[in-house]
Structure 1
Amino acid sequence: MLLRILLLFFSLQLCCSIDSITPQNPLKDGDVLLSKGGKFTLGFFSPGNSTRKYLGIWFTKVSVQTVVWVANRDKPISGPQGVFSIGVDGNLQVSSGKAVAWSTNISALIPPNDVNSTSGQILDSGNFVLASNNGKTMHWQSFDYLTDTFLPEMKIGLSKRTGLNRYLTSWRALDDPSPGNYSFRVDPNGSPQFFLYQGSDPVWRSGPWIGSRWSGVPEMTRAFIFNYSFVSNPDEISVTYTILNDSVISIFLVDGFTGTVKRRTWQESAKRWVEFWSAPKELCDQYGECGAYGSCNPNSGNQSECACFPGYRPKSPRDWYLRDGSEGCVKEDNVSMCRSGEGFLKLPSVKLPDTSKAVVNTSMTVKECAEACLRNCSCMAYTSADDSRGGSGCIALYGELIDTRLYPGGGQDVYFRADAVALAKYQKSKVALKNKRLEVILIVLAVLTFIIFVSTTAFWVHKKKKREWEEKRQRSIWIKDADDSDSDSELPFFTRNEISAATDNFSFANKLGEGGFGSVYKGRLRSGQEIAVKKLAQNSGQGVQEFKNEVRLIAKLQHRNLVRMLGCCIQGEEKMLIYEFMPNKSLDTFIFSKPIFISKNKLSVPRNCFLVLLTKEEKKASLDWKKRFDVILGIARGMLYLHQDSRLRIIHRDLKAGNVLLDKDMVPKIADFGMARIFGGEEVQANTTRVVGTYGYMAPEYALEGLISMKSDVFSFGVLLLEIITGRKNSGFYPDNPSINLVGHVWDLWKEGRALELVDPALNNDVDSEGEILTSIQVGLLCVQERADDRPAMSAVLFMLSNKVEIPSPSQPAFIHKGGHRDVDPSSSSTGAYSVNEMSVSATMVQGR
């Protein structure tokens, strides 16, 4: 019994956490320091697959080792001989044998009498402090020398008194914590703001602090977990934050792989980090995307996201047309500044232009700010310094107004200088709008008077309207599912007579294609608008769920790279969807050589079939690499919107060339959402017993096990990307190795360094684009890797395609061999499922395990 008690005593002693080192008790490799509350651990570690040793700090209770600070970033240790100690001069040092890899190098040496009383301690905040006299005198802290992670209670910014600049730098690689190419630091000039830099080039800008948030981060108004504090005074410019709920574990970091800053939160139930926020995440977030005097609107719906300020025009119309707005805008020829009649025009709800050259006066009112700016010809714009409580203070902007973007739901109003001509145009438009409103009011009054006059004879009209409303309500109830209680958007309903008139009574000449669920017709409304009508077969017994799905989903999705639904028609058992018409049909009519027309009657040959056969190669040649690359980027933007930026998180499940439509300007539009799946806000993977999609595009974990995630769509995108580059279908035949598909063929040539041999001959050996093509092939192979976790997210895909960055090497792709893996479920088959403007011919649903 005594022996047991002694063993228990010693085991308790060993389990007691040690949080400090002293000159007499250093820390050796294999031992760790644990903060008193058990939140953070300090010790030696080897990142990733590396065998090199670093001294670092990481979360104790996070099962995925997450290092938040590294001491010897530039000088790792080899072997297990590392020691973390306090030297004879009182400095902290990391050494191996007699070689010192890292030291605090405190210039003002610790008094010799204090060295023996000096200790280093890891705190529950994640800060490691060196202090003496029982912690009363602090000599050094890790929070002053940041790596890539911003923790609560840390400060980022500049101390004007000491010159200490605290900023973040990314890791060079997953297994190399040495400083990478991305940094996040404060710009103290003008109205201070933070920048994400790649080297010395600005990538993204936070905008200035405007009272309760950064101008360029409107999401902060909805944050109820974090409390930020910004300080700007003669001594320092800094920002810090706290977490209001102690149970939440969250970090802010610079990700060198994606070139973004991110806010991540640990999700204990899923044992993973969840991305809470990131930037930049779209084109308008990129610094200077629309140049000087240009504003960027990601939801513009136009060919370009960029627009010039009133009174300005594009500096380079050609580049502007090609959607490159970086040259910005210049004044119109008849515009001249600093003359009588000048004033200000409002840019509502925007991220403030770059404030590096701004002048801030917090004691002014906004009215005084406008008067002072008008008197100074160099002042180009003004706004309030504090946007809370109605606005106060003054930010006067000088120099070129650059990096302005629109935030429809959370920006700030900026007033920019305009000459008399621009002001007159604006006033004229306001008067016209006022007159139009007056006309509307008069018309409404006239209508009301007429209604009152004829009310005694209009009872039958009232009953008819009520009957129509009741019928429409019943149709609406039919569409809304029980689990779609948040649906607040209702599509316009067309009558069958309207659709019949538009399609010439569904004539054969207007028929675009046919599939298992029905047919697609071209039509023209009375307004002259061309439409495509997707008509469900009345007695097919299939497609009802898919019809509901498209109505629920597309009605809520608004993006320039998604097909737009105009309405629907429900009359008895007949159901139709009405879309915008795509004159260039689907992508597969351009990139594949042999057009196929298939219907339930085996073959259906439209009148223009032979014309298609004759012009197919000409159409293919017309899609040069520049256009193909624009199509690839457009599809990627559409998929990123579905996965991340839309109101709902959508998994498409049937992305392929036949489901990508092209408008008159060859802008790609993703279509056919009948098989799409809605994911919850925190849901990233699900298991389905109903596997749907197209053979050759389905990810292996989805086709074999029914596991669906956003990475399933990434796989389909990768296959489509390789098809666009090669002009071949994934299910094609390769004489050299008939057992593999396109993915396997590309992989074989990629390993041999012969990837350019598979490029579509119709591209005519475009040497200038070889680098871009090879990058696209490499990204495509990354997307079709066998393990879903290895595939990049669509945000990373778009970033790699849009920027010249180092791209990781792909691993073995998933080879989908010919032949199914199980019997096809005839009750759920969608063979011949159609697109909006042209049918698909290869979709197959299989039953998942």
Structure 2
Amino acid sequence: MASKVRNVILCLSCLLLFVGPSSSLLETLVQGQEVKDGDELVSAQGNFKLGFFTLESNNYYLGIWYNDNRQRQDNLVWVANRDTPIFNNSGSLTIDDNGNLKISHDGGLPIVLYSGQEGSNTSAVLLDTGNFVLRELNNSEELWQSFDYPSHILVPGMKLGVNRKTGHTWSLTSWRGVVVPDLGVFTFGMDSNHTNQLVIMWHDNIYWTSGSLERGHFTSSFSGISDSYYNFSYISNENETFFNYSVETRFTKSPRLVIDYLGRLSDDRGILVDCISRFSGSSKMERCMPAQLPPCRSPDDVFYSHFTFMYNDGFKFSESENLTLMDCEAKCLTNCSCVAYASTIEDAQTGCEIWTSIPARFNGSSNSNARTIYFLNSAIGKSTSHPTYNIKAYN
């Protein structure tokens, strides 16, 4: 009897060792189940996980990521509630009796991902492609899928294009800041006017173009997406027009194309498209669209960054404008009096403050309120109080 008791205790101890801080479920969520903070769905072959995560403070998001040991920002492939973070760990993903796929949480209305019908018999499965699919069990009809609502990352199987029947578009949208998943100002998708090429848009303006697709590769010779690493396909019929891509597993087992908050396109090898220096006209990246500068600005006007503290307050734009760091630079360039700009929220690099003069007095990085401030090169040259700075070129 004592031996049996010891065996039971040993089995329970082993079980507790395997149940860590998170509880991994099977790949399928059925009605009556829930995925809450600490729980994870795992795809059949273990390629992907779905669960709640946080990047800063108490903002929680539901997302899908590669099942590896990288930081969450580096293996993430999809965010469900990027504009509606949950401000505590009370989030719970469920399928209710009416077939609604929703995120419930304390202190607010549910975030509905799919609205079902009364009497629906549905389940949702995390596939080994990274796609999360809601199905009607009676006839296996696909009701909703995460691939139809990409965030800022493209993985093989996702589409960039348009559904001709519904008008629904597939495109990537950047984050608003470094750790702010809210919708940003850059989109990456199919060119609506020339559907055989991809574009990055900044607000409503073309920022970069890929060139046309020829034999699986784009004609833009300086773009990383034009090399043999990627094989793009273009499909157009009466139902839909889109691009997708594939990558051989000998290159990578976790492919991702990411549009970041600065409008740069990158993958696991590094940055592929970078048009940040287009304001100065010195961008080495082919097919970056030059900025339209006012007459008071020159292509030689560039900004330099310095981690410091300004004793005089600048003009702060309203937080409701949701300005990014790139927006702030544009605000400064289009204001002929502006000589410096900075994000008002340093860690996130969001918000905007601009200055029309450089103060005679500075305090460097030792000040607790120091942040990264970008100074116009011509303004620095005119400053006699501080002829030199330990700074680096932003472009």
Fold shared by both chains (TM-score > 0.5): yes
Which residue in the other structure is 1:169 paired with? 173
Identify if the C-alpha distance between structure 1 residues 110 and 38 changes in structure 2 by more than 3 Å, giving closer, same or farther.
same
1:773-820 CA-to-partner distances (Å, cap 9, x unmatched) read 223xx59xxxxx9xxxx9x9xxxxxxxxxxxx95899x96379xxxxx
1:409-457 CA-to-partner distances (Å, cap 9, x unmatched) read xxxxxxxxxxxxxxxxxxxxxxxxxxxxxxxxxxxxxxxxxxxxxxxxx
After TM superposition, give the deviation of residue 135 of structure 1 in Å: 8.8
CA distance in 1, matches of 2:137, 2:219: 44
Identify if the C-alpha distance between structure 1 residues 197 and 264 changes in structure 2 by more than 3 Å, giving closer, same or farther.
same
CA distance in 2, matches of 1:141, 1:289: 37
1:230 to 234, 240, 252: 234
Question: Do residues 120 (structure 1) and 115 (structure 2) align?
Answer: no
Which residue in the other structure is 1:216 paired with? 220
Identify if the C-alpha distance between structure 1 residues 808 and 30 changes in structure 2 by more than 3 Å, giving closer, same or farther.
farther
1:3 to 5, 8, 12: 8
Which residue in the other structure is 1:96 paired with? 105
Which residue in the other structure is 1:371 paired with? none
Which residue in the other structure is 1:56 paired with? 63
After TM superposition, give the deviation of residue 133 of structure 1 in Å: 2.6
Which residue in the other structure is 1:770 paired with? 337
CA distance in 1, matches of 2:62, 2:25: 18
Alignment-mate amino acid for residue 249 of structure 1: S
After TM superposition, give the deviation of residue 252 of structure 1 in Å: 0.9
After TM superposition, give the deviation of residue 140 of structure 1 in Å: 1.0
Identify if the C-alpha distance between structure 1 residues 62 and 240 changes in structure 2 by more than 3 Å, giving closer, same or farther.
farther
CA distance in 2, matches of 1:16, 1:182: 35
Question: Do residues 253 (structure 1) and 258 (structure 2) align?
Answer: yes
Greater share of strand: 2
1:263 to 262, 266, 275: 266
Alignment-mate amino acid for residue 60 of structure 1: N
Kept in 2, the 8 Å contact 1:156–1:166? The answer is yes
Kept in 2, the 8 Å contact 1:76–1:101? The answer is no
Identify if the C-alpha distance between structure 1 residues 34 and 163 changes in structure 2 by more than 3 Å, giving closer, same or farther.
same
Which structure 1 residue ranges, 4+ long, deviate > 6 Å from structure 2? none
Kept in 2, the 8 Å contact 1:94–1:100? The answer is no
After TM superposition, give the deviation of residue 249 of structure 1 in Å: 2.3
Identify if the C-alpha distance between structure 1 residues 135 and 39 changes in structure 2 by more than 3 Å, giving closer, same or farther.
farther
CA distance in 1, matches of 2:68, 2:138: 28
Aligned pairs for 1:829-844 within 5 A: none
Alignment-mate amino acid for residue 44 of structure 1: F
CA distance in 2, matches of 1:173, 1:807: 15
Q: Secondary structure at the match of 1:250?
A: coil
Question: Do residues 813 (structure 1) and 368 (structure 2) align?
Answer: no
Kept in 2, the 8 Å contact 1:225–1:245? The answer is no
Identify if the C-alpha distance between structure 1 residues 31 and 812 changes in structure 2 by more than 3 Å, giving closer, same or farther.
farther
Kept in 1, the 8 Å contact 2:274–2:285? The answer is no
After TM superposition, give the deviation of residue 81 of structure 1 in Å: 1.9
After TM superposition, give the deviation of residue 11 of structure 1 in Å: 4.3
Q: Secondary structure at the match of 2:337?
A: helix
Q: Secondary structure at the match of 1:209?
A: strand
1:184 to 185, 188, 201: 188
Identify if the C-alpha distance between structure 1 residues 37 and 11 changes in structure 2 by more than 3 Å, giving closer, same or farther.
farther
Which residue in the other structure is 1:619 paired with? none
Identify if the C-alpha distance between structure 1 residues 25 and 181 changes in structure 2 by more than 3 Å, giving closer, same or farther.
same
CA distance in 2, matches of 1:286, 1:69: 28
CA distance in 2, matches of 1:23, 1:814: 55
Question: Root-mean-square deviation (CA), in Å?
Answer: 3.9
Identify if the C-alpha distance between structure 1 residues 28 and 283 changes in structure 2 by more than 3 Å, giving closer, same or farther.
same
Alignment-mate amino acid for residue 273 of structure 2: S
After TM superposition, give the deviation of residue 211 of structure 1 in Å: 3.0
After TM superposition, give the deviation of residue 253 of structure 1 in Å: 1.7
Identify if the C-alpha distance between structure 1 residues 7 and 290 changes in structure 2 by more than 3 Å, giving closer, same or farther.
closer
After TM superposition, give the deviation of residue 284 of structure 1 in Å: 6.3
Q: Which has the higher contact order (CA 8 A, sep 6+)?
A: 2
Question: Do residues 85 (structure 1) and 88 (structure 2) align?
Answer: no
CA distance in 1, matches of 2:189, 2:69: 27
CA distance in 1, matches of 2:185, 2:66: 25
Instruction: Pick which of 80-89 and 16-25 moved more.
Output: 16-25
After TM superposition, give the deviation of residue 173 of structure 1 in Å: 2.0
Q: Secondary structure at the match of 2:218?
A: coil
Which residue in the other structure is 1:696 paired with? none
Which residue in the other structure is 1:289 paired with? 290
The structure that has the greater radius of gyration is: 1
Which residue in the other structure is 1:30 paired with? 38
Identify if the C-alpha distance between structure 1 residues 186 and 806 changes in structure 2 by more than 3 Å, giving closer, same or farther.
farther
After TM superposition, give the deviation of residue 145 of structure 1 in Å: 0.6
Which residue in the other structure is 2:384 paired with? none
1:75 to 84, 109, 132: 84
1:152-211 CA-to-partner distances (Å, cap 9, x unmatched) read 221111121332211111112233212111112223435532221111111112222233
Alignment-mate amino acid for residue 61 of structure 1: D
Kept in 2, the 8 Å contact 1:158–1:237? The answer is yes
CA distance in 1, matches of 2:188, 2:235: 17
Kept in 1, the 8 Å contact 2:66–2:254? The answer is no
Question: Do residues 41 (structure 1) and 46 (structure 2) align?
Answer: no
Q: Secondary structure at the match of 1:3?
A: helix
TM-score by structure 2 length?
0.68
Aligned pairs for 1:237-248 within 5 A: 237-245=241-249, 247-248=252-253
Instruction: Pick which of 241-250 and 65-74 moved more.
Output: 241-250
Aligned pairs for 1:692-771 within 5 A: 747=308, 750-753=310-313, 769-771=336-338
2:197 to 193, 198, 211: 193
Identify if the C-alpha distance between structure 1 residues 252 and 5 changes in structure 2 by more than 3 Å, giving closer, same or farther.
same
Which residue in the other structure is 1:65 paired with? 72
Identify if the C-alpha distance between structure 1 residues 626 and 29 changes in structure 2 by more than 3 Å, giving closer, same or farther.
closer
CA distance in 1, matches of 2:168, 2:150: 11
Identify if the C-alpha distance between structure 1 residues 3 and 105 changes in structure 2 by more than 3 Å, giving closer, same or farther.
closer
Aligned pairs for 1:238-637 within 5 A: 238-245=242-249, 247-256=252-261, 258-260=262-264, 262-265=265-268, 274-280=269-275, 282=283, 285=286, 288-289=289-290, 630=300, 633=302
Kept in 2, the 8 Å contact 1:155–1:238? The answer is yes
CA distance in 1, matches of 2:225, 2:37: 45
Percent of aligned positions that are identical: 25
CA distance in 1, matches of 2:117, 2:110: 21
Greater share of helix: 1
Identify if the C-alpha distance between structure 1 residues 807 and 36 changes in structure 2 by more than 3 Å, giving closer, same or farther.
farther
Q: 5+ unaligned residues in a row in structure 2: which ranges?
A: 1-5, 277-282, 315-334, 356-362, 368-395
CA distance in 1, matches of 2:124, 2:107: 21
Kept in 2, the 8 Å contact 1:230–1:239? The answer is yes
CA distance in 2, matches of 1:229, 1:134: 34
Which residue in the other structure is 1:140 paired with? 144
Alignment-mate amino acid for residue 87 of structure 2: S
CA distance in 2, matches of 1:18, 1:808: 51
CA distance in 2, matches of 1:96, 1:222: 44
